[in-house]
């Protein structure tokens, strides 16, 4: 569990376990945090101000199963959010060969991002879906992107070995998530990857899908946009036989909140 428990501009504290979030008696505590953040905004405090976020994940669809509703909240509040995908998810559709799937899934990811107001979507080259290797090559690619985008907040997907329900996480999520955490530190050190741009210090990292959430974002107002964002992965969902709204109602509960493990100040 992170030691970070205070409200920041990104999200408010979670002090309850995942399944307790659907219990009504826990919700007022969450709402109290929301009011506190709003009060800070009215007071004009810039101490915890979010201007730019960069979301970095392994595959098209990773953000849509975990964070797109929160991205829409930040976007509607005037924040600038960009996406960086380590792969094009080319190994993600059993009935479609990788060369075709890469093209289809890149287009679906761009359409998906547009549903939550994100028009900057970048893809790394040189990292293959399913066999992404953690290492200095990936760290340098990510550090260079962080230095170029200069975000206060970096969002990524579960880097832990396990999901909250105890099943093993995928190799790509573990590799990319851990590389994001390390590259965020690398980006601030001018002597690490000195040819990859000017140093940049990230203030927060928010890990979506973490088994150890510390903060949450109320996405009741943006839930339909989150559904549209996942539904934009049309070929992928068809192959899985999934309905976007049903999936997200199951993941986020009612009232819907996106939980993050927030690392940072
Ligand atoms: Zn994934």
pLDDT tens per residue, range 10-67: 788 875 433 333 332 233 333 334 433 443 444 444 555 789 999 999 999 999 998 9
- What separation in Å is there between the alpha carbon of 62 and the centre of ligand 1? 5
User: Quick check: is 3 in a domain?
Assistant: no
- What separation in Å is there between the alpha carbon of 58 and the centre of ligand 1? 6
- What separation in Å is there between the alpha carbon of 177 and the centre of ligand 1? 11
User: Quick check: is 2 in a domain?
Assistant: no
- What separation in Å is there between the alpha carbon of 239 and the centre of ligand 1? 15
* Per-residue pLDDT at 1: 44
- What separation in Å is there between the alpha carbon of 87 and the centre of ligand 1? 10
Instruction: Tell me which residues have their CB within 5 A of the ion that is ligand 1.
Output: 59, 62
- What separation in Å is there between the alpha carbon of 173 and the centre of ligand 1? 6
Query: Comparing 31-45, 90-104, 184-198, 233-247, which segment has the lowest mean pLDDT?
Result: 31-45
- What separation in Å is there between the alpha carbon of 37 and the centre of ligand 1? 31
User: Quick check: is 152 in a domain?
Assistant: yes
User: Quick check: is 1 in a domain?
Assistant: no
* Per-residue pLDDT at 265: 66
- What separation in Å is there between the alpha carbon of 183 and the centre of ligand 1? 19
Phi/psi of residue 24, nearest 5 degrees: -60, -40
Q: Would you state the structure tokens that stand for residue 185, as one six-digit string?
A: 């530190």
* Per-residue pLDDT at 42: 43
| Domain count for the chain | 1
245: left (phi over 0), alpha (psi -120 to 50) or beta: alpha
Whether the model clears a pTM of 0.95, i.e. scores above it, the answer is: no
- What separation in Å is there between the alpha carbon of 59 and the centre of ligand 1? 5
DSSP reduced 3-state for 218:
strand
What tens digit of pLDDT does each residue of 156-182 get? 999 999 999 899 999 999 999 999 999
Neighbour tally for 76: CB within 10 Å: 13
* Per-residue pLDDT at 19: 36
Percent over 90 (pLDDT), the chain: 78
* Per-residue pLDDT at 2: 45
User: Quick check: is 7 in a domain?
Assistant: no
Scanning 116-216, the segments in alpha helix (DSSP H) are 136-149, 171-187
* Residue 9 CA: distances (Å) to CA of 27, 42, 82, 91, 219: 19, 12, 17, 36, 15
Cβ partners under 8 Å of residue 220, min gap 6: 255, 256
The C-alpha atoms of residue 91 and residue 97 are separated, in whole angstroms, by 8
- What separation in Å is there between the alpha carbon of 244 and the centre of ligand 1? 16
What tens digit of pLDDT does each residue of 84-119 get? 999 999 999 999 999 999 999 999 999 999 999 999
Instruction: Tell me the CATH number at 25.
Output: 3.40.50.10320
* Per-residue pLDDT at 48: 59
Domain containing 112 equals 12-42+49-264
* Per-residue pLDDT at 253: 87
The C-alpha atoms of residue 233 and residue 245 are separated, in whole angstroms, by 13
* Residue 52 CA: distances (Å) to CA of 9, 34, 117, 146, 246: 12, 20, 13, 11, 31
* Per-residue pLDDT at 13: 80
User: Quick check: is 192 in a domain?
Assistant: yes
User: Quick check: is 234 in a domain?
Assistant: yes
């Amino acid at each position: 569990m992170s030691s970070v428990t205070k409200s920041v501009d990104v999200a408010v504290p979670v002090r309850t376990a995942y399944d307790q979030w659907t219990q009504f008696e826990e919700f007022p505590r969450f709402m109290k945090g929301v009011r506190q953040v709003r009060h800070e905004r009215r007071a004009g405090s810039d101490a915890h101000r979010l201007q730019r976020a960069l979301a970095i994940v392994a595959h098209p669809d990773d953000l849509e199963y975990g964070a797109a509703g929160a991205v829409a909240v930040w976007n509607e509040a005037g924040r600038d959010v960009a996406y960086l995908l380590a792969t094009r998810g080319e190994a993600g559709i059993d009935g479609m060969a990788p060369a075709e799937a890469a093209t289809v899934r890149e287009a679906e990811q761009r359409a998906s991002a547009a549903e939550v107001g994100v028009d900057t979507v970048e893809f790394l080259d040189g990292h293959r879906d399913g066999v992404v290797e953690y290492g200095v090559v990936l760290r340098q690619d990510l550090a260079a992107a962080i230095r170029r985008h200069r975000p206060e907040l970096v969002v990524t997907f579960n880097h832990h070995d396990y999901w909250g329900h105890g099943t093993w996480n995928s190799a790509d999520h573990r590799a990319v998530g851990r590389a994001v955490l390390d590259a965020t530190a690398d980006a601030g050190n001018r002597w690490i990857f000195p040819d990859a741009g000017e140093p940049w210090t990230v203030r927060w990292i928010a890990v979506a899908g973490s088994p150890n959430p510390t903060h949450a974002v109320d996405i009741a107002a943006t839930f339909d946009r989150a559904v549209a964002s996942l539904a934009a992965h049309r070929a992928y969902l068809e192959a899985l036989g999934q309905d976007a709204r049903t999936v997200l109602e199951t993941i986020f509960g009612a009232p819907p909140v996106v939980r993050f493990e927030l690392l940072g100040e």
